[in-house]
Amino acid sequence: MGLYHIDSLLPLFKLSEQVIPSSEKRLIKQLIDNYEKAGNIGRPVKNRKETIVVGYGLSLFQLLDLDEKNQILTINVWLKYTWIDQLLRWDPANYSNIREVRIPPRLIWTPDIALYNYVDERLNEPRDVMLNVDYLGRVFWSPPAIFKSNCHIDIRNFPFDYQFCYLRFVSLTQHVGELDLQFLDNRTEVDVSQSVPNNEWTIVARPARKFVARSVECGQKIPDLTFFFYLKRNSAYYAYLLVFPPIFLSFFSTVIFWLPPHVPAKMLLSMNLFVAFSLLLKVLSISTPSASTYVPYLGKLLVDTSK
């Protein structure tokens, strides 16, 4: 009798071991299934004449490097996207009042926004960060990225120089009638609230502008958001090393004219000043960024003074 009682309870134990999916899992599975039926290739709109508006922003984490010789700017940023996906909508009342879920980017459509003036071997950064989607179909995505862009360098005013760089983002395949780029929250500047300071450069301005460019391949107008960086070199170190010593030596060079010609110290002082200016030129050549286009005014001054 006891053995029969135990056998009768076994089905109950088996039922209790069955995993009942949560409302969140059911919702995500339903959204992905619906997306697969519609296809994740192509814009997520019900009417092909509709334009998807993508809000786009740039949050700077760190200015990693400005390579003056190769004219390359390297920065670490967080990209910020928002758009509405009409295929990712649901009624919260049917899913335990869930209003937001997270979905991997590879499973749904994402805008093909890329850096236009890139100089890296990678056109796009790996972006495995999950997307936040609410029940109205609003998508928010904030993947990190490291970008390398070209930047024209002018070192004539070294070490008191300013450099001007920019990052230009465009849609690779979609024109303005299909995809329109807008600034996220109408913020026309780079967000630096969470950025780490750079030892050599200070960002004095960071505006952003929207342009409409024309594609060379198809002739269509494509959306273009450009983020600018105005950089000022931190010159305190170079001033003490390269600016003050020449001024001090130039003062001593005037002493030579006060000394009588027959004084032996005049020749000795002249030779010492010549050697000192030669050493300063050597230090300047080591400290100055290697760029063949321009020569710093400071270098020309040292050459003229040492003559």
| CATH code of the domain covering residue 117 | 2.70.170.10
* 152 plus 272 within the same structural domain: no
Residue where a domain terminates, one of 233, 265, 295: 233
Give the confidence band of 216 by pLDDT, cuts at 50, 70, 90: low
* 100 plus 213 within the same structural domain: yes
Domain that holds residue 251: 236-306
Give the confidence band of 280 by pLDDT, cuts at 50, 70, 90: confident
Residue where a domain terminates, one of 214, 233, 252: 233
Instruction: Report, as an integer, the average pLDDT of 113-138.
Output: 84
Which position has the higher pLDDT, 101 or 251? 101
| pLDDT for residue 291 | 63
| pLDDT for residue 122 | 64
Evaluate whether residue 4 is within a structural domain.
no
- Number of folded domains in the chain? 2
DSSP letters for 231-280: EEE--HHHIIIIIHHHHHHHHHHHHHHHS-TT-HHHHHHHHHHHHHHHHH
Instruction: Report, as an integer, the average pLDDT of 182-196.
Output: 95
* 222 plus 241 within the same structural domain: no
* 270 plus 128 within the same structural domain: no
* 246 plus 224 within the same structural domain: no
Which position has the higher pLDDT, 239 or 306? 239
Instruction: Report, as an integer, the average pLDDT of 214-227.
Output: 80
Whether pTM exceeds 0.85:
no
Average pLDDT, the chain: 84
* Distance of alpha carbon 125 from alpha carbon 144, whole angstroms: 8
Evaluate whether residue 1 is within a structural domain.
no
Instruction: Report, as an integer, the average pLDDT of 112-131.
Output: 80
Write out pLDDT tens, residues 21-47: 689 999 999 999 988 888 777 888 888
Above 90 in pLDDT, residue 289?
no
* 284 plus 302 within the same structural domain: yes
Evaluate whether residue 21 is within a structural domain.
no
Which position has the higher pLDDT, 264 or 60? 60
Evaluate whether residue 3 is within a structural domain.
no
* 41 plus 131 within the same structural domain: yes
Evaluate whether residue 19 is within a structural domain.
no
Which position has the higher pLDDT, 305 or 283? 283
Residue where a domain terminates, one of 205, 233, 261: 233
* 133 plus 276 within the same structural domain: no
Above 60 in pLDDT, residue 82?
yes
Evaluate whether residue 13 is within a structural domain.
no
How are the residues of the chain apportioned to helix, strand and coil, as percentages rounded to the nearest 5? 30, 30, 35
Instruction: Report, as an integer, the average pLDDT of 273-285.
Output: 75
* 139 plus 270 within the same structural domain: no
